[in-house]
Amino acid sequence: MTSRLRQRPAWRKLEEHFEAIKDVHLRELFADDPHRATKFSAEAEGIYLDFSKNRVTDETMALLMQLARESGLEERRDAMFNGAHINVSEDRAVLHVALRMPADTSLMVDGVDVVAQVHGVLARMRDFCVNVRSGQWKGATGKPIKNVVNVGIGGSDLGPVMAYEALRHYSQRDLTLRFVSNVDSTDFAEAVRDLVPDETLFIISSKTFTTLETLTNARSARDWVTTTLGEHAVARHFVAVSTNDQLVAEFGIDTSNMFGFWDWVGGRYSMDSAIGLSTMLAVGPEHFDELLAGFHAMDEHFRTAPLEKNVPALMGLLGLWNRDFFGFASVGVMPYEQYLKRLPAYLQQLTMESNGKHVTLEGEVVDYDTGALYWGEPGTNGQHSFYQLIHQGTAIVPVDLIGFARSLNPIGPHHDILSSNVFAQAEALAFGKTEAQVRAEGTPEHVVAHRVMEGNRPTNVLLCEVLTPRLLGSLIALYEHLVFTQGTIWDIDSFDQWGVELGKVLAVRIIPELEASEEPVLDHDSSTNELIRRYRAWKQR
Ligand code: F6P
């Protein structure tokens, strides 16, 4: 049966339209319309989006808008903001937007004012951070805290790490921040190698407080502290961020040292909840407030701006056009700002855990492509590594190039050199170099073909003034709402993550087979059995 999406009139028209324009080159589109750059650009909250180097025309954009409207994007957006249970497979509201609503607003969900709840936790976080940053919070031996280690994984790690790196310029430099996520003991060992327990505070961050990696690392952290300082030190050296007070208490952390959040915050949408405690410790409550204000400002833009000028909606629709019609399977995100070096990793979880889905909200298998692969590296490093494939490879990779007008560390010519590459890459990818141009340069005939660059590769350029906490909040909210836009049109649940469950269950079954002192009876497939036997043999078990 044909899906709802494919039956939409706008989708059908887009299919016909695609046949008509699929071979048109960006060179022609720019030559035909001198106003293309201004026409195909938009701006919100200090982020200027130039999307003119996408393979779109006026008609494409009009049809994409029609598709968004036929798919109920505006209605579903309003339902999210009103606290409806749009996460259908888990029957939950999706309210990360409430995490950044101002204190003088309110939002009643299931009879509770969630904004008041949010600001209650924020107030406790602020007090705690002021105490730790000022040295008033003492460790078990009376020394102030100099090191903070966040222990978490997925959304309980990637947001904190990304935000810490992004806002390092604004951080208190005499506080060392470390992040432990991998269950590989090397991650923990290297994180604490040069630290001492009596000056170190662990934040155990886990929405569920059941995640095996995090609990394993948390136990090792507790052993590391208590071996030197004794059991009583746990209260001064451990705090928790979670929705599960019972398991936090069972772990041995006093729930008065716990900062809560709620089931309506998805893990990958939680960096501005109490999961941001390490961020607030690093940059201080005022900067954290600015971050929240930036998120909220972009939320308001997404909620109120007409779709034609709505930056997250535009980016979501362009991504869908590239993914479903051109069939481009991945998106590169290249921040030309060293502080954003972990942004691609953060966006991988946000986009791929959200929109890597194969069934509709009704549980029907989709008959179109959903989430693209997201990946990237900061510019200009990527240019000397994988950009060759983006320029001349057979796979076309639409790229988001993120640039800034000002550096936070201006030194000599660095920043203009950096920024010139943002514009140059977008130009080269769009227009390439024709055979005639290559020949005109006097290129020997036998290398002409090698030097031709087809161009016609789509890019978005996101240009901003300077990286601030507020700007970071707006940028992340932009991508959150891009994901929402695409998920709505794809008719999928962008807020669950059932796909990661099976691997976890199977791992739990295999652990005792690896640990057993007697040869275990294995009844996996022959490949898995053989891998386990080989592993045990090399471990001399
Ligand atoms: O395994 C996926 C996942 O559930 C993510 O969605 C989540 O961000 C991560 O694990 C960590 O979960 P928790 O915060 O509950 O430890």
Give the C-alpha separation, 8 to 2, whole Å.
10
Contact criterion met (CB below 8 Å) for 477 and 99: no
Cβ of 352 closer than 6 Å to ligand 1, yes or no, is no
Mean pLDDT, residues 196-204 taken together? 98
8 A C-beta contact, residue 397 and residue 390: yes
Q: Whose CA is nearest to atom 1 of ligand 1?
A: 500
- pLDDT-based confidence at residue 245 (cuts at 50, 70, 90): very high
Is 1 a residue whose pLDDT tops 90?
no
What lies within 8 Å, CB to CB, of 161 at 6+ separation is: 150, 179, 181, 342, 345, 346
pLDDT score at 401: 98
Residue 498 phi, psi (nearest 5): -65, -25
Residue with tokens 């069934």, as numbered in its chain:
359
Q: Which residues pair with 144 in a beta bridge?
A: 138
Q: What is the mean pLDDT of residues 491-501?
A: 97
Q: Residues 167, 237, 222, 502: what is their CA dihedral angle, to the nearest 10 degrees?
A: -40
Q: What is the pLDDT of residues 177-193, one digit of tens each?
A: 999 999 999 999 999 99
Ligand 1 pocket member 156 (CB < 6 A): yes
Residues 291-301 have a mean pLDDT of: 98
Query: pLDDT averaged over the chain?
Result: 97
Partnered with residue 167 across adjacent β-strands are none
- Residue 110 confidence (pLDDT): 84
pTM: 0.97
Query: In the predicted model, is pLDDT for residue 512 greater than 90?
Result: yes
H or E segment to which residue 389 belongs: helix 387-392
Cβ 340 vs Cβ 378: under 8 Å:
yes
Question: Which tens digits make up the pLDDT trace of 56-85?
Answer: 999 999 999 999 999 999 999 999 999 999
Do 479 and 351 touch, CB atoms closer than 8 A? yes
Cα of 530 vs its chain's centroid, Å: 37
What pLDDT does residue 392 have?
A: 98
Closest CA to 70 of 10, 21, 160, 148: 10
Q: Does residue 439 carry a pLDDT above 80?
A: yes
Active site (catalytic) residues: 353, 384, 504
The answer on pLDDT for 541 being more than 80 is no
DSSP-based three-state secondary structure for 471 = helix
* CB contact set of 337 (below 8 Å; sequence gap of 6+): 378, 402, 403, 404, 467
> Residues 155, 352: contact at Cβ < 8 Å?
no
Tell the residue nearest (CA) to atom 8 of ligand 1: 155
Distance (Å, whole) CA 235 – CA 138: 11
Instruction: Among 207, 213, 273, 505, say which to mutate for ligand 1: greatest number of ligand atoms within 8 Å of CB.
Output: 207
> How far, in Å, CA of 291 to CA of 167, rounded?
10
